[in-house]
Structure 1
C-alpha cells in the first residue's frame, strides 16, 4: 500500500510540474537564421570554406535530428543545381532529402527539418513556418537575397517573425557584392571559415531566448558580427529556467506532503 501511495504521489506531482513548466518552448523545434543565402550553396563547399561548411552542416544535422529533410528552392539564385553538395552531405549523414519550389503548410508537414534559401515569403507563409517550428519542426532560413528590394525592407518583413525566437536581422547589407571569406570567431567546432555574399547581420535580442550562434570577421570589417542566430544553442539540451526549477521543487514538496498524509492516515489510532 505504501509503495502504491508513493507511486501515485509521484505521478500527481510530476504531472503538476509538467503542466506548469512544460509549455511550447520545450516542445518547439529549433529555428536557425542566416544573414546570407549562399552559406550552404555549392560555392560554400569549395576552398577555403569547405571544412567550415561541412562542420556547420554536420552540427545542423545533429541538432535537427530526424531523417526526412526538405530543401525549399524558390529563390532563383540558390536553385536545385546549387544544392547538390548540401544534398550529398546530408545524405551521407543518413538523411532523406527532398526539394520543392512551393511552400505552404501542407508542403512542409511531416518533415523533420526544412531549409529555406532566401526566397521571399508572404505573411501567410511566415505564419505557416512559425506554426511548423512551434509545433516541433526544425527550420533553417536565410536572408540577404534582396527579395524585398533593400536590406531594411527585408529586415522589416522578417523581424516580427524572428523576434518570436529572440533574434533580429540588421537593416543594412555588409561587404561588397560577391563571395568573401568570413573568418568564424564563434561557431561549431571545426567551422573556421564560411562563405558570405553581401548579406546582413543576425543578432540575438537582448531580452530574448535567441543565441548568436555563428559570428565572424571580414578583412576590412565588420569585425565579430552575428552571421547566424538560433532559437537556442545548437547541440545543447535545454536547461530548466529558474522558474521551472522552483516549480519542480514545489512538485517534490507536494509529493512529500501527499506521502506524509497517506502514511499518517494508514497508522492505527
Structure 2
C-alpha cells in the first residue's frame, strides 16, 4: 500500500506539471492602449512590464501573433511590447487579418481593438490557443454597443464587459487596487470595465483600479483562468516530487533487499 501511494503521488505530480489544459487562456482588457508604447513610459512602465511578464508566463510557448490593421493602435505603437516579449524568449509575428488558418501554429494571439471574428477567436482559445483581447475601441459605436457585441463570447469564458467608458477621454492614470505586485499604476485610455461574470466563475478579475474622481476599485483586466507570475513550478511542488521519488526509491531498495535475503 505504501509503495502504491508513493507511486501514485509521483505520477500525480508529473501529470499535473506536464499535462496541458484542453483550453487556452483568454485575457481581456477594457482598454486597447494597455500595451502601447505610451504604456511603457514614465510611471506606467513598471506596471506594464509586470503585466506583460505575467502574460508571457501564463501563455507559455514561443510563437506569438500581433494583430494589426483595422484598429486604433497601429503597429508603430507595439514596438515596446514586442521588444519585451522578445527579451522573454518569444518570437513576434504580425498580421492584419485573423482566421483559423492565420492563428494555426501560434501559441498566443494579441488583439488591439480591431474588429474580429469572435467565433474564430473563441474556437482558437477552446482549441488550446491563448489570446489577449482589447475592448474600449469605439468600433461598435458606443460602450454599450461594444459590450453587447462582446459579452456573449466573453460569458463563455466567465467574463463580462461594462457598458460605460471611463474615466475622462485621453490617457489617465489607473491606481491599481489589486493585481501583480509590480503593477502599482497603469495607463488607461478611456475604456470599459471587465469583471467576473459571477462570483462563482472560474475566471479572475486580474487587475482592478481606481481613478481620481472615480470610479473606484473597478475591474480593468480579466482572465478566463488565473494568470501566473512564474513559469516554473513552486518550490513546494518540487519538494513534494523529490520526497515522493526518494521514498519510492527507498521502498524499492528495501523490497529488493528482502527478496535477495529470502
TM range (shorter): 0.7 to 0.9
Gaps of 5+ in 1: 1-5, 19-24, 238-269
Query: Residues 9-88 of structure 1 correspond to what in structure 2 (within 5 A)?
Result: 26-88=21-83
Partner SS state of residue 114, structure 1: strand
- How many equivalent residue pairs? 214
| In 2: Cα distance, 1:155 partner to 1:60 partner | 23
Match of 2:225 in 1: 232
Partner SS state of residue 203, structure 1: strand
1:210 Cα offset (Å): 1.4
Task: Give TM-score scaled by structure 2 length.
Answer: 0.78
Partner SS state of residue 80, structure 2: helix
Task: Give TM-score scaled by structure 1 length.
Answer: 0.76
1:236 Cα offset (Å): 8.0
Aligned residues of 2:54 and 2:229 also touching (Cα < 8 A):
no
Match of 1:250 in 2: none
Match of 2:244 in 1: none
- The verdict on how the C-alpha distance between 1:204 and 1:111 changes in structure 2, with shifts beyond 3 A counting, is same
Match of 1:109 in 2: 104
| In 1: Cα distance, 2:70 partner to 2:32 partner | 9
Aligned residues of 1:70 and 1:114 also touching (Cα < 8 A):
yes
| In 2: Cα distance, 1:176 partner to 1:165 partner | 29
Gaps of 5+ in 2: 231-262
| In 1: Cα distance, 2:183 partner to 2:28 partner | 17
Match of 2:214 in 1: 221
Query: Residues 161-240 of structure 1 correspond to what in structure 2 (within 5 A)?
Result: 161-206=153-198, 207-235=200-228
1:176-213 CA deviation, whole Å, 9 max, x = no partner? 11000011111112111110000000000114221101
